[in-house]
Amino acid sequence: MAAVRIPPTLRAEVGGERQVEASGATVRELLEDLADRYPALRGQLFEDGDVAPFVNVYLGGEDVRTLDGGETPVREGDTVILLPAMAGGSVGVLAGIASRPSTQAPGDASRRSRHGALRGRTTRTVPSGTAP
């Protein structure tokens, strides 16, 4: 058997476990065994009978796509890590940010730095060689 590390986004499908056991001579067989043991995972792991393209599978720290894909051999005691690809943001949120009018006057030397904005601090850009 191999250990399969389960990401937080899939833990509900395996009863909250962080790691489960599965068996198979190849990555595909191991994932099939995992889906047989935890049927709720099948829809998360497979698409049209193949491992879903948004599921990243690592064996020994290597993405199996750079090895032999689903045919990559799995040995007793190996650790397989599942990482669903993450996409972020929302078009609505991004559109809201993009359409928000700027409150900064053109030519204003005051800028909010990324970290200053998080703390509510304003930084001032000063030309090189000039004292503030």
Q: Is residue 71 part of a domain?
A: yes
Taking the complete model, does pTM exceed 0.75, yes or no? no
| Domain boundaries, position 75 | 2-84
* Paired residues of 47 in beta bridges: 50
**Residue 26 above 70 pLDDT?**
yes
CATH number at residue 60: 3.10.20.30
Q: Is residue 113 part of a domain?
A: no
pLDDT at 28: 95
pLDDT band at 85; cut points 50, 70, 90: confident
Please write the tens of the pLDDT for every residue from 92-118: 444 444 444 545 555 544 444 444 444
Q: Cβ contacts of residue 45 below 8 Å, gap of 6+? A: 31, 34, 35, 51, 52, 55, 82
Q: What's the rounded mean pLDDT across residues 18-29? A: 97
